[in-house]
Structure 1
């Protein structure tokens, strides 16, 4: 399979300071209009295009380094085309890209041309290098006379540099038919420096009975269907706004492929060979539609997604894949009482190789904050206030020995501040991670911030009390509204804001902060902000 852009941009002339051949893009227009399919600035060029506007899916960037990042777009004048190819002709289309210091593109840092090819559904992954560390940049594309929306991105600080505070937003679980992506719009308005998406970017299901807006096509199982589904998600202007505002670190969970899949095991009884083909299609579509580096180009059903992103000396993000290498869920999945299989020391959620990789990263880290970005609930959560305990097998409770090894690995490494970021459960949680959950006097050794869903589970309710908070005193906060977590990393503390919207079944709800917590440097645990 040929992935255009995986080899990097083709050689181009040296950038010319001050040169601009594309129209200017002001800050206010960037914030309010960058998510339009072409934007008013591109209208004149689009009228002369040889095909309809190809930039209906917007732009994105990701995996920043001190000297660059990945720039992404996909050409799709007819994004919902049933063949998954976005209405593009079966030919190579050259696409120009450029990176500027300013939002009006008056100081061009780099530009080049790459080929968008039909074999990759005309997706582009441009890996830039040679940019200055710790700096904001703006980027855009042009093809067939049309100009894309502009995106805002940034490079990571130089190695070891603490630099200014880092603001991130954490999101997960965006089920298109269940609600509007208002939380993505509010996230964009917060203008974070970095976005972490922890999985369930799209859902594989056909339109459910409770839908507030439909998805096209049946449950996704083949490449055309996955491509079409990603394209429909990317037509949403709120999602495009969130992609355009900052670079993203992405990793999948289950619904990008199949609910509750585990390694080679599907959710249901479909044949292994059929599921392997489905995984390969899902992996290819995921890579095509995410701002990932060439190291993540899939090989059949296998895809390298766990990786490490350093943000100078301030933070190291260890991005974990908890789907691809896990042992199958214990005791038939679900919420179980008395499941001893979950205690088997031979079982692993991330797999033995990824556990070793993570432990090595902790040993080598000199960051102020070591942040583990992963998918499923990490702290123990007894779901029954009585006895015996009832635990969810799809999260770390179903892999207790694996969780203990991961926790010990950061404790033994002397990690200065350990923070776990989590998605999946459709509710906000603020948790303290204990060395031993059986011992009430056991020390707190880390902090877990669980982000609610963007839409999954619908509007929710205003409740913040829950029996799990009383059964599990290390669980400090819960909210059943949709939203995201905004976190600000500073040398002396981490501040986490649990951002919520009161409705997703109708568009446009305002955002508010349901609770704030502070984690001081070298003091694991949560303090009300």
Structure 2
């Protein structure tokens, strides 16, 4: 995984891992733990892990089941393996709750960065299938009984969004803003997607930026449909699993025409020095060169 050395050379202050951190795809938890052990033994991973704090969530492959949700029978054992690998303290709330969601706030008042890592697997209802499209077999489902986050996580998320912070990064293992084109995405459960948009508006939580992965390419999406301000979703993936198809799915919300399909990682940097802080983002390749980049003034990400 040479890209881990590139990421180390970028001198990160914080690393967010959005899922598919290993490819377990197993009902044998011993196999899952062995794959975590294999990752943990890699020298480049050891070096990166020692360089900065890491916040991690999971996606389907480290959850244990491709496209898996709440119906995965070993989700509790998978959660235990996940928390053990990431050295979660024995007294951590994550050891007592269902799901691996977590949040942290960094920095002093006036320069507070809140990081919210969602769990889009543990509670997620089964997805509806339709005719297969480029991205896969899934189609939008308006069933009001279906959920992405589950009641407990939704209540927790509202509490987090009401906490004081200047900038809020929401980590979602699957894309939030992009339109559904058969792939796994929030758009498959449009009521849940709208619920998060409404929650950001109702809590008047400013400075929200969504970071996502999963797609095996990188792109930037923005929506202003019923939002409090432009809602930005920066997708960075993957570190070393290049998609054999290489064709991006249809996405009406893609705000930068460029998509990048080779190994990459995302860099989010904040310039706090001006009266109107700037959020800069880049998708970088294995040579640490930007392939997609942009920026937003914090003033543009405030409730209207």
TM over 0.5: yes
Deviations 1:169-189 (A, max 9, x none): xxxxxxxxxxxx111111111
Mapped pair 1:324 → 2:130 = no
TM-score (norm 2): 0.85
Within the candidate set 518, 522, 526, 2:295 is matched to 518
Give, in whole Å, the separation in 1 of the partners of 2:245 and 2:137. 25
Give, in whole Å, the separation in 2 of the partners of 1:482 and 1:474. 21
For 1:488-527, list aligned pairs within 5 A.
488-491=269-272, 492-501=277-286, 510-524=287-301
Mapped pair 1:234 → 2:19 = no
Count residues with an aligned counterpart: 290
- The alpha carbon displacement at 1:196 in A equals 0.5
Q: In structure 2, what is the equivalent of residue 148 of structure 1?
A: none
CA contact 2:242–2:261 (8 Å) conserved in 1:
no
Q: In structure 2, what is the equivalent of residue 188 of structure 1?
A: 8
For 1:329-344, list aligned pairs within 5 A.
329-331=127-129, 335-336=136-137, 339=139, 342-344=141-143
Q: 1:184 to 1:303 in 2, by over 3 A?
A: farther
Q: 1:477 to 1:365 in 2, by over 3 A?
A: farther
Q: In structure 1, what is the equivalent of residue 54 of structure 2?
A: 248
Larger Rg: 1
CA contact 1:194–1:246 (8 Å) conserved in 2:
yes
For 1:52-201, list aligned pairs within 5 A.
181-201=1-21
Deviations 1:327-351 (A, max 9, x none): 11123797358x46x1223322111
- The alpha carbon displacement at 1:296 in A equals 5.2
TM-score (norm 1): 0.51
Within the candidate set 224, 241, 262, 1:481 is matched to 262
For 1:341-420, list aligned pairs within 5 A.
342-362=141-161, 364-383=162-181, 391-392=182-183, 394-420=184-210
Deviates more, 1:442-451 or 1:353-362: 442-451
Deviations 1:212-233 (A, max 9, x none): xxxxxxxx43232222211112
CA contact 2:94–2:100 (8 Å) conserved in 1:
no
Give, in whole Å, the separation in 2 of the partners of 1:473 and 1:454. 21
Considering only aligned residues, what root-mean-square deviation do their CA atoms show, in Å? 2.7
CA contact 2:18–2:56 (8 Å) conserved in 1:
yes
Deviations 1:44-89 (A, max 9, x none): xxxxxxxxxxxxxxxxxxxxxxxxxxxxxxxxxxxxxxxxxxxxxx
Deviations 1:396-425 (A, max 9, x none): 011111111111111122222110111111
CA contact 1:431–1:476 (8 Å) conserved in 2:
no
CA contact 2:219–2:235 (8 Å) conserved in 1:
yes
CA contact 2:68–2:121 (8 Å) conserved in 1:
yes
For 1:411-430, list aligned pairs within 5 A.
411-430=201-220
Task: Give 5+ residue unaligned stretches, structure 1.
Answer: 1-180, 206-219, 267-275, 384-390, 437-441, 502-509
Give, in whole Å, the separation in 2 of the partners of 1:287 and 1:321. 13
Within the candidate set 302, 306, 310, 2:101 is matched to 306
Q: Greater share of helix residues, 1 or 2? A: 2
- The alpha carbon displacement at 1:445 in A equals 2.8
Within the candidate set 261, 267, 270, 2:68 is matched to 261
